[in-house]
Amino acid sequence: MSWLIFAVVFWLVAWGVNSYAARVAGRNRWVRLFVPTLFGITVLVVWEAVIKGLQVSPIILPPPSAIGAKLASSLPVLWGDLVQTFFKGALSGYLIGCGAAVLVAVAIDRSPFLQRGLLPVGNFVAALPIVGIAPIMVMWFGFDWQSKAAVVVVMVFFPVLVNTVAGLSASDRMQRDLMATWGASYWQGLWKLRLPAAMPFIFNGLKIAGTLALIGAIVAEFFGSPTRGMGFRITAEIGQLGLDMIWAEIAVAALAGSAFYGLIALIERGVTFWHPSQRN
Amino acid sequence: MNRLLPILTVVAAIVVLWYGAAVWLNGPWVQDQAARAGVTVSGMDFVGQTMTQDRPVLPAPHQVIKGLYDGVAGQAITSKKSLIYHGWITLSGTLLGFVIGTGLGILLAVGIVHNKAMDLSVMPWAIASQMIPIIAIAPMLAVVMNSLGASGIVTKAIISAYLSFFPVVVGMVKGLRSPDAMQLDLLRTYSAGEATTLGKLRLPSSMPYLFASLKVGIAASLVGAIVGELNQPAGLGARLLSGSYYGQTVQIWAALFAAATMAALLVVGIGRIETVTLRRMGMAR
């Protein structure tokens, strides 16, 4: 009972602090960092206290402390899973898929006919539940990371293609005319004007694809995998009701996902430093 | 015609490539069978045999269409082999979850727009959650919900709701903030309260954003329902998994195309509602 009271009190106090901080100094940079952090801590504390207070079984929801302990004690296993799923499966598929999409976009750039044909098809495919091809890819490429990479390739291809094609037409008429008056060839125009101008669009596609890549690699492992990998660990631990391990995997997946996103955003800032959205 | 011709060309090219890939991928099996029987197959015979296998590596398009047709029209709709039966199970979970997720998402967005503390605390997490492979928790949620005694559709709906929730929150916050300062000031000069401003200005002007995120949300809901079905007895996701267990490739492809058709119909349906709504509100572009 005392745990429940503690949870309610902690929640009310944190809420009070956050409202006060937001009202008094909502524009301050440190406050903008502090408020969501306190919110996250509050969620964890209330979670822990409610589970202790109501004595929820750990096979329904383990407390964060147990998840943290599991995370710390099984780092080698988690690292192995991360390498298998993220670096081998998701990342290789991501690089192949995004590279192919950009190349195809450049290749069809000269043909408005192909663009008008491929864009609607690409938009259509991008909305489909492509993860469903996972069992087919597992059948074709075996249980190891190659099949996961293949799923990721298909998943990331169309969003990046559609965004790149849109980006390649983003430069102004005037800018293209300027290139023409300088006697620039098609390739010079592409390299010096239209590709740089397309970068904000391409990075938008790359960011969307980053999330999709991790989803694709994990879901593909639900359909068959070697005895390592995040998706494998999640399905295997479900059988043993090891929910703390599953939560640990999810925490790692969340960290890897945000770190990857952050990396893409960093590269974007370096490449598109000239774009208004990157200037403060 | 000017817009249709390129699309048809691309689709035709995909179908041709597909047939070529079917011959290429299924060919080794035909050769293998022929070598065992001590005969040689060649020419049209070879091509024909690559497209009539029971469990091809890659079914030819017409085999998939036949599988789809058999699943949709060839069975009683209560049959366990009917794609309509499985599709309905998936669709019901998707729609239930979508409605829950969208409703909660809109409510949270209204809260975020009106409460500074909530905005600062929740919004960064809502944005961060979009970079996280949330789908990884689907199998675990399914087990937990089962042990709590929830039925299959509720389990799926919760996963679907969870996946459609965050896109709607992020989109709606943007939409509810889209009226500019002039419009908000005008309502203040009318001495309109928060509730009136919400009903008469913020909600109407958020409609384009709402529909954009609904389209993302319904696609995410469907993916969630399919993944949530992987350890359930029925539904398109279960069809995919059982097909992959027993090597029934035609069944997998038919289920996949059924899911794709459903996704397309749902997105197009929302697009239709969007067009009508925006036109009635005088916001059509």
CATH code of the domain covering residue B275: 1.10.3720.10
Residue A63 in domain:
no
Would you say the ipTM is above 0.90?
A: no
Cβ atoms within 10 A of the Cβ of A265, count? 15
Give the pair of three-digit tokens for residue B81: 């082999």
- Shared domain for B48 and B167, answered yes or no, is no
B122 contacts chain A (CB < 8 A): yes
Q: Is residue B157 part of a domain?
A: yes
Phi, psi (deg, nearest 5) at residue A103: -60, -45
Same domain for A114 and A250, yes or no, is yes
pLDDT at B119 over 80: yes
A242 occurs within a structural domain: yes
Spatial distance between the Cα atoms of B68 and B250, rounded to a whole number of angstroms: 9
Could you give the C-alpha distances from A213 to B58, B230, B249, in angstroms and in order? 24, 20, 24
Give me the residue from B120, B136, B140 closest to A35, CB to CB.
B120
For chain B, say whether A254 makes contact (Cβ under 8 Å).
yes
Q: pLDDT confidence of B285, banded at 50, 70, 90?
A: low
| Helix, strand, coil percentages in chain B from 3-state DSSP, rounded to 5 | 80, 0, 20
Looking at the structure, tell me whether residues A25 and A85 fall in a common domain. Answer: no
Q: Do A132 and B259 touch (CB under 8 A)?
A: yes
For chain A, what percent of residues have pLDDT higher than 90? 15
Selection from A114-128, B30-44, B85-99, B144-158 with the highest mean pLDDT: B85-99
Residues in B 20-59 with any Cβ partner in A closer than 8 A: 25, 57
- With respect to residue A138, please indicate whether it lies within any of the assigned structural domains: yes
Instruction: Pick the residue from chain B with its C-alpha nearest to A220.
Output: B227
Are residues B248 and B157 located together in one domain of the fold?
A: yes
* Chain B residue nearest residue A116, CA to CA: B6
The pLDDT assigned to B106 comes to 93
Nearest to A90 by CA among A159, A163, A145, A158: A145
Chain B contact present for A231, CB below 8 A = yes
Task: Using CB atoms, pick whichever of A118, A218, A246 lies closest to residue B133.
Answer: A218
B21 and B138 part of one domain: no
C-alpha–C-alpha distance, residues B15 and B67, integer Å: 17
User: How crowded is residue A186: how many other Cβ atoms within 10 Å of its Cβ?
Assistant: 11
In a domain, A65, yes or no: no
Q: Does B95 touch chain A (CB under 8 A)?
A: no
The reply to whether B249 touches chain A by the CB within 8 Å rule is: yes
Cα atoms in the 13 Å half-sphere on the side-chain side of A77: 17
CB contact under 8 A, A132 and B240: yes
Does residue B223 contact residue A127 with C-beta atoms inside 8 Å?
Answer: no
The residue ranking higher by pLDDT, A118 or B75, is: A118
Is A214–B119 a contact, with Cβ atoms under 8 angstroms apart?
A: no
DSSP for A9-55, written as a single string: HHHHHHHHHHHHHHHHHTT-HHHHHHHHHHHHHHHHHHHHHHHHHHT
Please answer whether residues A58 and A69 qualify as being in contact, where contact means their C-beta atoms are separated by less than 8 angstroms: no
CB contact under 8 A, A129 and B263: yes
Shortest distance between the Cα of B264 and any Cα of chain A, in A, equals 7
Within this chain, do residues B213 and B271 fall inside the same structural domain, yes or no?
yes
* Counted domains in chain B: 2
pLDDT score of A280 more than 60: no
pLDDT bucket at B247, cuts 50 / 70 / 90: confident
Q: What span, in angstroms and rounded, lies between the C-alpha atoms of B71 and B50?
A: 22
Position A81 in a domain: yes
d(CA B11, CA A253): 37
Averaged pLDDT for residues B176-195: 89
Residue A209, domain CATH: 1.10.3720.10
**What's the rounded mean pLDDT across residues A101-120?**
86
Query: Are residues A246 and A174 both part of a single domain?
Result: yes
A36 touches chain B (CB under 8 A): yes
| Neighbour tally for B55: CB within 10 Å | 14
With an 8 Å Cβ cutoff, are B139 and A222 in contact? yes
Share of chain B above pLDDT 70, in %: 99
Compute the distance between CA of residue A6 and CA of residue A23 in angstroms, rounded to an integer. 25
Question: What pLDDT is attached to residue A58?
Answer: 80
Please indicate if any CB of chain A lies within 8 Å of the CB of B212.
no
**Nearest-neighbour CA in chain B from A204: distance (Å):** 13
Contact A127 B227 (CB under 8 A): no
Does residue A153 register a pLDDT over 90? yes
**3-state secondary structure at position B57:** coil
| The pair of three-digit structure tokens given for residue A28, joined into one six-digit string | 């301050």
Kindly state whether residue B93 falls inside one of the protein's structural domains.
yes
Kindly state the DSSP code that residue A182 receives in the 8-state scheme: T
A55: which 2 tokens? 């004595």
C-alpha distance from A272 to closest chain B C-alpha (Å): 21
> Min CA distance, B167 vs chain A (Å)?
13
A132: chain B residues, CB-CB within 8 Å: 226, 236, 240, 255-256, 259-260
- CB pair distance less than 8 Å for B131 and A257: yes
Q: Indicate whether A145 and A9 sit together in one domain.
A: no
Q: What span, in angstroms and rounded, lies between the C-alpha atoms of A137 and A224? A: 10
Stretch B167-183: mean pLDDT: 88
Query: What are the pLDDT digits (tens) for A50-105?
Result: 888 888 888 788 888 888 998 899 889 899 988 888 888 899 999 999 999 999 99
CA distance B244 to chain A (A): 6
Looking at the structure, do residues B168 and B103 belong to the same domain, yes or no?
yes
Counting the structural domains of chain A, the total is 2
Domain range holding B157? 83-280
Q: Does the distance separating the beta carbons of B240 and A35 come in below 8 Å?
A: no
Cα–Cα distance between B215 and B263 in angstroms, integer?
Answer: 10
Q: Looking at the structure, do residues A215 and A155 belong to the same domain, yes or no?
A: yes
Q: Is pLDDT of B7 > 90?
A: no
d(C-alpha B221, C-alpha A66), whole Å? 31
Average pLDDT over residues B113-138: 81
**A150 and A195 part of one domain:** yes
B252 touches chain A (CB under 8 A): yes
Closest CB to B243 among A32, A135, A219: A135
A44 and A75 belong to one structural domain: no
Residue B142 and residue B236 in one domain: yes
Amino acid at A37: T
Q: What domain range includes position A99?
A: 70-278
Cross-chain residue pair A131–B223, CB shorter than 8 Å: yes
- Residue scoring higher pLDDT (A178 or A235): A178
pLDDT one-digit tens code per residue, A203-253: 988 988 888 888 888 888 888 888 888 888 888 888 788 888 888 988 898
Q: Are B90 and B262 in contact (CB under 8 A)?
A: yes
Verify that A52 and A90 share a domain, yes or no: no
Is residue A39 a part of any domain in this protein? yes
Domain check: are B160 and B19 in the same one?
no
Residue B204, domain member (yes or no): yes
Q: Which of residues 152-211 of B touch A (CB under 8 A)?
A: none
Per-residue pLDDT, B108:
92
Residue B64 lies in a domain: no
Specify if B72 maps to a domain.
no
Q: Are residues B146 and B245 in the same domain?
A: yes
The alpha carbon of residue B201 and the mean position of all alpha carbons in its chain are separated, in whole angstroms, by: 31
By three-state DSSP, how is residue A120 classified? helix
Q: What is the pTM of this model?
A: 0.83
In a domain, B275, yes or no: yes
Residue B19's nearest CA partner among B62, B55, B66, B49 is: B62
Whether B101 and B230 map to the same domain: the answer is yes
On whether residue B245 sits in a domain, the answer given is yes
In 3D, which of A211, A219, A214 has the Cα closest to residue A265?
A211
**pLDDT average, residue stretch B132-138:** 77
The confidence score (pLDDT) of residue A101 equals 93
**What per-residue confidence (pLDDT) applies to B284?**
64
> Is residue A178 in a domain?
yes
Tell which residue, A195, A201, A194, has the closest CA to residue A162: A201
Facing residue for A35 by CB, picked from B121, B136, B247: B121
Residue B93 and residue B8 share a domain: no
Clarify whether residues B46 and B90 are in a common domain: no
Q: Is the dihedral of CA B255, B258, B260, B262 positive or negative?
A: negative
Asked if B51 and B130 sit in the same domain, the reply is: no
The answer, for A113 touching chain B at a CB cutoff of 8 Å, is yes
Separation between Cα atoms, residue A260 and residue A240, nearest integer Å? 31
Nearest beta carbon to residue A129 from set B136, B137, B222: B222
Query: Pick from B139, B148, B282, B123: which is nearest to B207 by CA?
Result: B282
Domain contains A61: no
The answer on A45 and A96 residing in a single domain is no
Domain for residue B118, yes or no?
A: yes
Examine the domain organization and report whether A170 and A51 are in the same domain: no
List the one residue out of B16, B50, B54, B58 whose CA is nearest residue B32. B50
pLDDT of residue B189: 93
